[in-house]
Amino acid sequence: MSIHPSAIVAAGAVVPASCTVGPFCTIGPEVVLGEECRLISHVVLDGRTRIGARNVIYPFASIGVAPQDLKYKGEPTETVLGDENTIRESVTISRGTVGGGGVTQLGSHNLLMTCVHIGHDSIVGSHCILANAATLAGHVTIEDYVTLGAFCPVHQHCVVGAHAFIGGGTIVTQDVLPFSLTSAKRENRAFGINKIGLQRKGFSPERLQTLQKAYRYLLASKMNTTQALEKMRELEGEDVALLAAFIERSQRGVIK
């Protein structure tokens, strides 16, 4: 086991022999690390925190710290991370609250760039990229394969749909449609599908064409959302069905 002499590992913490703990790291008594994790230096792991295998955590990241919620009174809530995440400098991930389900979750294969904040009770899926200083307020859900640009704040209880791309500086106060491009440069509006990103993920031309038809009904026609959904149901494919279901269950309304 490689633990630097300046690191502090509390009694009770689980740190496998395959892990590397760098200088001045602090690991609390209820932290459980998976195999082959690397803590570069000055990392703080606190609270009831479970971290999967092969995560790399850079200096001054704080994971499992108390939530920024004045209602929190020290209840035993949790933080859970999956495998093979890259967590860069000064990232903060707050543990959950009793009122929000009690768990903050991060999936696997994500890149969290410098100064990203994941607030209490938020759920981030897998294969996501959160760029520098992207910030999630409490109770946010980010689905799989999302790219969230730099300096993007996401309001409480918002949902960002799978495969969405959000441009830097966009203020997100409503749900973001799956497969969409949304940008502050377009007045915080969705303006079509994330075509390049979807091509890179192996979407066929036929899938892209069907999604483009659905988005034309939704964004470029004179139909309201209900009418657009009726037309979208005439299209075949799981992607359109996922898009329609996302719109129907949205609680905050969607960015169009």
Active site residues: 120-121, 138
What's phi and psi for 104, nearest 5 deg? Answer: -105, 130
Strand, helix or coil for residue 117: strand
CA distance 187 to 5: 52
Q: How far is CA 151 from the centre of its chain?
A: 14
What's phi and psi for 213, nearest 5 deg? Answer: -65, -45
Confirm if 166 and 234 have CB atoms less than 8 A apart: no
Strand, helix or coil for residue 237: coil
Confirm if 34 and 53 have CB atoms less than 8 A apart: yes
